Amino acid sequence: MNRAVTGASVHDLSHQVTGREPGRTTYPLYDEAVLGLPGFWNPVCFADEVRNDRPIGVQVRGHKLALMRDEEGTVRALVDRCPHRGVPLSIGTCEFPGNLTCRYHGWTWDLKNGALKAALTDGADSPICKQGSAQARTYRVQERANMVWAYVDDDEAPSLGDQLPEEFAARDLLVLGRWQDVEADWRHGVENGFDEGHAKMLHRTSLWKTFRYVPAWSKIKVTTSEDSRTLTRTVTDKGFETDYPGLGVWPHKRHWWQKPEGKPGGKRKPPVVSVNLPGIVRVHWPDHPLGEFDFWEIWVAAEPHRYRIFQLLTQRARGLIRWRTRIAYDLAIRWIYHHSFHDEDLLMVRAMETPPEVLYRPDRSISAWRRMVEDYLTKRGLGDHRPPYNSDEPQSLRKT
Amino acid sequence: MNRAVTGASVHDLSHQVTGREPGRTTYPLYDEAVLGLPGFWNPVCFADEVRNDRPIGVQVRGHKLALMRDEEGTVRALVDRCPHRGVPLSIGTCEFPGNLTCRYHGWTWDLKNGALKAALTDGADSPICKQGSAQARTYRVQERANMVWAYVDDDEAPSLGDQLPEEFAARDLLVLGRWQDVEADWRHGVENGFDEGHAKMLHRTSLWKTFRYVPAWSKIKVTTSEDSRTLTRTVTDKGFETDYPGLGVWPHKRHWWQKPEGKPGGKRKPPVVSVNLPGIVRVHWPDHPLGEFDFWEIWVAAEPHRYRIFQLLTQRARGLIRWRTRIAYDLAIRWIYHHSFHDEDLLMVRAMETPPEVLYRPDRSISAWRRMVEDYLTKRGLGDHRPPYNSDEPQSLRKT
Amino acid sequence: MNRAVTGASVHDLSHQVTGREPGRTTYPLYDEAVLGLPGFWNPVCFADEVRNDRPIGVQVRGHKLALMRDEEGTVRALVDRCPHRGVPLSIGTCEFPGNLTCRYHGWTWDLKNGALKAALTDGADSPICKQGSAQARTYRVQERANMVWAYVDDDEAPSLGDQLPEEFAARDLLVLGRWQDVEADWRHGVENGFDEGHAKMLHRTSLWKTFRYVPAWSKIKVTTSEDSRTLTRTVTDKGFETDYPGLGVWPHKRHWWQKPEGKPGGKRKPPVVSVNLPGIVRVHWPDHPLGEFDFWEIWVAAEPHRYRIFQLLTQRARGLIRWRTRIAYDLAIRWIYHHSFHDEDLLMVRAMETPPEVLYRPDRSISAWRRMVEDYLTKRGLGDHRPPYNSDEPQSLRKT
């Protein structure tokens, strides 16, 4: 057995350690991006979760935010830590519309600019307000497509409209979905999401595939958009029962009720899968019985080795069509796709320990994604990309 | 927004790190005092928890003690680790009155001096006893006011009577209360306990305040006792409905059944709040419907980031008065003050992450307390104050 | 009190740290052996736990193994980590007999040699298979005495038959027992297992001893086998009621239904206790009412501070004798010896914090065991004994 080649055993790791840091791909900036990519708006929660009478706390790219609506109903964000004694503002209260009051001593912060309007328990003449010596950091937040998006970098924020697909601004956009916090690296999430190969093995027996006969294999090509922010994965060939040398035919059986998935000559156009910066997988169904719609998965790093994933179904629709999709989502899609199907993915994302790794042909989707991120970070310069997170936790891709 | 000023966001912390160690106040010895202050007796449990037929284990200032009563009923303490094979003596047994026998191999220790009287499983002629090569460390412990107090420093112990208030020695002292182990820093506990400001915001809606209309703010002065071991906090001014510039009047409403708290001209004398070394807050009620009594809160560091808090009600009383207070405590005070009211404090003490911090006028109580500790430690010299605790855990005030 | 002598208090530890690393015995190679001893086969599970239609995962000496039977029924082991994307192979499936397929992307590994036979989701022409660039490490495993034994070192493995006692190969060997994973150091497990002294104190009141009157003390001698791989502990003297100077007679009472254990002049031959490399305690009952049989305890380090213990009863027996022992085991021995009795040991093994330690006369059994290990490691050279485990966890004997 050629142990130098495998890179696979626990034993080998100890040897590799001497030569090279474990947990590294060939993309150094990608490896550094523990807390996601700078220069983008990230969704933090759904819009209807933010109220005007009490705050909620979210975490994005190492920053903790307390969200509340001001008196006009606009969502605002302050740093989720009272500068006074360091307790979370997200357990505070709303004593005056448009202001967030700390639960501990009543320091009252203007949601719009983070100014200290009053330290209630020190009276109207409290010197701390006049000195201007206390200030809560504000964050830029916007509502779009039923979600709240935050920009946490220090530089000028790009236009949210420019970043998001056009239809996210449409008034007739139906947005259905959920989010979930996962203890895993956001990059493993995206890589699994844009990974062509695993569906045909991991999800073969999932509830979602009950009426589908999944191919054994496929060949793909990956194309890059002009702005280098989107990769599209296209299947160029696929096979069902296949005779593997030295093993035999696989998969073994097709149930009579299963319809081969995406067999050429099908009447409907196949879905198109793409991945977008900073970490969004889109599955566009141009020609589905429910009409044209999109599935989205958005990975947002919260802190090292923890992310929030948004799973969405969006459709531009009105009237009955809109209701039909909503009912289909609530009764079926949510449970069998966004829950049970996704749980299979999570099993892998949580168990994954790479690098080291040995990639194969379908992994060109993963390599292309890493290269796109690397290119983006190289152009941008690392500047404020360095994670603000103050932590002793491992910061590499590799779970330790 | 002037980010250099705020010191508040997660982002800022990373910058501060470069310039200055996080988690530091301006009092270096106070910052070091992870395990409490040397030179004092500390309560470790209630007297009736210690039996003469089996030991119990307690932890104080990084030391683990096994407590048991000897044949005269005197409480004794040995180090809670058998020198033989390192198992806790507090899971041992009493095979001979006045001696504690290790559960593992029967090494039998004299409670009075920690001498090895026998290694039972090695027979009466065991060389290990004759050599005098094994010895369990003893600790000085005393009973007072229904509690067991331990002195764990190596120097000569001060008189417990001198350290404690006179009435703790009184024969008619009623002592009611409880203790609780809390995963937080003992200094955050004391600081919250002597903090004037938070009660008017945090406890505003607590069960304890149902029939009280709490002031919005107060002004205090803090006076130091002659021996620099006690600080007393006195309210010099207070206000109820107050008009805050740019915000409006607060608090918003007073229920008809609420009586303004401590309004000047009240018939009863107000309580007096003081904090004492090494970490005791006393609220003296000179003129309460239940009679004159004291509330005490005593914080005892067990190990880094864990303390035991004693919450007591003491009263010098006999006969019916004594029974009335006991019933009031068991039926009401215990639950609404020592439990639900205190739980609000714990929410803050556990969430607090300071320094960095920005203090305001009422925090002079906290600053005075820190200064008093700093002065004490400066005078004493750090000598054996260095924590004996052998640990890789963070030793700073700041939770990480 | 001579604190320099005790080595016992928490306080003392901090002083010792300066002079000498804590957690060290006088045997440096023994102290290093966090993950057990090289050069031996170790049991990893029972043979009937390994199936031919799905794998199971085990851990031994820092190595993770996926076990499955091939098409001939032979147990095979691959490293429990797919070289592709680092997920455990032990959650994989059997798509083709004799091959283990990764659950994630269908990489299919030959159980016999770890070759990549197919990457199912990449089709029959997948380049990754032809390149030979992917290889799963295989491990040597064998079945013997109803257990699976693994050899994880890189050198040539000794004969399993040579390592094991002769009767383990016997066709009429009855093997009963269980295994349990314990969060403790394997050396504390073995030391407790071969420790003569503790039984007479710790197990005095156990269910196992209900009908036994346990001696107070014993004197032992320890003899070494010619090949320096086995130590035998023999009792040379013992005593029951004993008068300890300054304390009195102990043990205090003998119940009328208790029979003194091993009193000279008993009709039956006493059991013989030995410890064998790499960490096996054998209690041989030559003359038991159930016939001649052996108790075995085998400690196998899984990772630092976690071991798997095998507790066995073996007997060469056929027919009715065999059934009688099996019934006695299932109804009684399993529960009162392998569970409740062993739980008392685990209480100590988990609580033990040594070194520092102060040994006494009966601990010559422990010292002899340590010396035997030290001699073995010295002769062998440390070579590949250095643990392969890639971990930041504490690697010393001492729990921290």
Task: State the 10-residue block means of pLDDT for chain A, 400 residues long.
Answer: 30 30 72 95 98 98 98 98 97 97 98 97 93 88 97 95 92 97 97 94 86 90 94 94 95 80 72 96 94 97 97 96 96 93 96 90 95 94 45 33
Tell me the two tokens of residue A383. Answer: 């500047």
Residue of C nearest to B104 (CA): C202
Which of C86, C96, C104 is opposite residue A198, by nearest beta carbon? C104
Residue of A nearest to C66 (CA): A9
- B3 has a pLDDT exceeding 60: no
What three-state secondary structure class fits A67? strand
Q: What is the pLDDT of residue A247?
A: 96
Residue B206 banded pLDDT, cuts 50, 70, 90: confident
Q: Is there a contact between C86 and A9 if contact means CB atoms under 8 Å apart?
A: no
Residue C63 banded pLDDT, cuts 50, 70, 90: very high
Cα separation, C12 vs B135, whole angstroms? 12
Residue of B nearest to C358 (CA): B84
Q: Is there a contact between A121 and B245 if contact means CB atoms under 8 Å apart?
A: no
Q: Is there a contact between A353 and C81 if contact means CB atoms under 8 Å apart?
A: yes
For chain C, list the contacting chains (3+ Cβ pairs, <8 Å). Answer: A, B
* Higher pLDDT pick, C390 / C188: C188
pTM above 0.80, yes or no: yes
Q: Is there a contact between C5 and B120 if contact means CB atoms under 8 Å apart?
A: no
Q: Is there a contact between B82 and C2 if contact means CB atoms under 8 Å apart?
A: no
H/E stretch holding A15 reads helix A10-19
Write out chain C residues lying below 8 Å of B117, CB-based: 244, 246-247
Cα separation, B204 vs A279, whole angstroms? 45
What three-state secondary structure class fits A122? helix
Which of C3, C245, C360 is opposite residue B137, by nearest beta carbon? C3
Q: What is the pLDDT of residue C212?
A: 81
Looking at the complex, report in whole angstroms how far the Cα of residue B379 sits from the nearest Cα belonging to chain C: 23
Q: What is the pLDDT of residue C264?
A: 60
Cα separation, A280 vs A308, whole angstroms? 12
Tell me the two tokens of residue B396. Answer: 């700073």
Three-state SS annotation for A165-191? CHHHHCCCEEEEEEEEEECCCHHHHHH
Q: Is there a contact between B135 and C6 if contact means CB atoms under 8 Å apart?
A: yes
Write out chain C residues lying below 8 Å of B86, CB-based: 351-357
Residue C259 banded pLDDT, cuts 50, 70, 90: confident
Helical residues (DSSP H) of chain B, grouped into ranges = 3-6, 10-19, 28-32, 127-130, 160-163, 186-193, 199-202, 319-328, 342-351, 364-380
Q: What is the pLDDT of residue B155?
A: 94
Instruction: Return the residue in B35, B108, B116, B120 with the most chain C beta carbons within 10 A, the one to mutate for interface testing.
Output: B120
Q: What is the pLDDT of residue C31?
A: 92
Q: What is the pLDDT of residue C396?
A: 35
Residue of A nearest to B241 (CA): A123
Which of B200, B242, B348 is opposite residue A124, by nearest beta carbon? B242
Q: What phi, psi does C373 have (nearest 5°)?
A: -65, -45
Write out chain B residues lying below 8 Å of A126, CB-based: 217, 360-361
Residue of A nearest to B238 (CA): A123
Q: Is there a contact between B354 and A101 if contact means CB atoms under 8 Å apart?
A: no
Which of A201, A252, A354 is opposite residue C106, by nearest beta carbon? A201
| ipTM value > 0.85 | yes
Residue B131 banded pLDDT, cuts 50, 70, 90: low
Residue B18 banded pLDDT, cuts 50, 70, 90: very low
- B398 has a pLDDT exceeding 60: no
Residues comprising chain A, all counted: 400
Cα separation, C181 vs C186, whole angstroms? 11
Give the range with max mean pLDDT: B32-46, B253-267, C15-29.
B32-46
- Point out the least confidently predicted range of A141-145, B40-44, B252-256, C309-313: B252-256
Which of C62, C85, C96 is opposite residue A247, by nearest beta carbon? C96
Q: Is there a contact between C13 and B390 if contact means CB atoms under 8 Å apart?
A: yes
The mean pLDDT of C350-369, rounded to a whole number, is 92
Write out chain A residues lying below 8 Å of B10, CB-based: 62-64, 79, 81, 388-390
Looking at the complex, report in whole angstroms how far the Cα of residue B229 sits from the nearest Cα belonging to chain A: 25
Residue C389 banded pLDDT, cuts 50, 70, 90: very low
Cα separation, B272 vs B278, whole angstroms? 19
Q: Is there a contact between B85 and C354 if contact means CB atoms under 8 Å apart?
A: yes
Residue C210 banded pLDDT, cuts 50, 70, 90: confident
List the helix and strand counts (H, then E) for chain A: 10, 20
Say how many C-beta atoms besides its own lie within 10 A of residue A161's C-beta: 13
Average pLDDT, chain C: 87
Sign of CA dihedral B391, B397, B398, B399: positive
Residue C379 banded pLDDT, cuts 50, 70, 90: very high
For chain B, list the contacting chains (3+ Cβ pairs, <8 Å). Answer: A, C
Q: Is there a contact between B120 and C216 if contact means CB atoms under 8 Å apart?
A: yes
* Higher pLDDT pick, C45 / C389: C45
Q: What is the pLDDT of residue A400?
A: 32
Q: What is the pLDDT of residue C144?
A: 96
**Do strands C75-79 and C138-144 pair parallel, antiparallel, or not at all (unpaired)?**
antiparallel
Instruction: Return the residue in A2, A3, A11 with the most chain C beta carbons within 10 A, the one to mutate for interface testing.
Output: A11
Beta bridge partners of A300: A308
Tell me the two tokens of residue C213. Answer: 């009157």
The mean pLDDT of C335-359, rounded to a whole number, is 93
Looking at the complex, report in whole angstroms how far the Cα of residue C187 sits from the nearest Cα belonging to chain A: 22
Residue of A nearest to B351 (CA): A87
Residue of A nearest to B205 (CA): A103
Looking at the complex, report in whole angstroms how far the Cα of residue C356 sits from the nearest Cα belonging to chain B: 8
**Do strands B248-250 and B242-244 pair parallel, antiparallel, or not at all (unpaired)?**
antiparallel
Query: pLDDT digit string (tens) for A186-217?
Result: 999 999 999 989 999 999 888 877 778 889 99
Residue of C nearest to A248 (CA): C96
Q: What is the pLDDT of residue B23?
A: 54
Which of B1, B244, B351 is opposite residue A88, by nearest beta carbon? B351
The mean pLDDT of B289-298, rounded to a whole number, is 96
Looking at the complex, report in whole angstroms how far the Cα of residue C54 sits from the nearest Cα belonging to chain A: 15
The mean pLDDT of B167-195, rounded to a whole number, is 96
- Point out the least confidently predicted range of B216-230, B255-269, C41-55, C170-184: B255-269
Cα separation, A126 vs B138, whole angstroms? 53
Instruction: Return the residue in B3, B10, B359 with the most chain A beta carbons within 10 A, the one to mutate for interface testing.
Output: B10
How would you label B154-176 residue by residue, b for 16+ Cβ within 10 Å and e otherwise? eeebeebeebbbeebeeeebbbb
Looking at the complex, report in whole angstroms how far the Cα of residue C43 sits from the nearest Cα belonging to chain A: 19
Residue of B nearest to C359 (CA): B84
Query: pLDDT digit string (tens) for B91-118?
Result: 999 999 999 999 999 999 999 999 999 9
Residue of B nearest to A99 (CA): B247
- Total CB pairs under 8 A between chain B and C: 157
C226 burial (CB, 10 Å; 0-12 / 13-18 / 19+) is exposed
Looking at the complex, report in whole angstroms how far the Cα of residue A325 sits from the nearest Cα belonging to chain B: 41
Q: Is there a contact between B247 and A119 if contact means CB atoms under 8 Å apart?
A: no
Q: Is there a contact between C201 and B121 if contact means CB atoms under 8 Å apart?
A: yes
Write out chain A residues lying below 8 Å of B247, CB-based: 95-96, 99, 108, 117-118
Q: What is the pLDDT of residue B266?
A: 65
- C125 has a pLDDT exceeding 70: yes
Q: Is there a contact between A85 and B357 if contact means CB atoms under 8 Å apart?
A: yes
Which of A8, A217, A247 is opposite residue C135, by nearest beta carbon? A8
For chain A, list the contacting chains (3+ Cβ pairs, <8 Å). Answer: B, C
Q: Is there a contact between C87 and A351 if contact means CB atoms under 8 Å apart?
A: yes
Q: What is the pLDDT of residue B265?
A: 61
Q: What is the pLDDT of residue A256?
A: 79
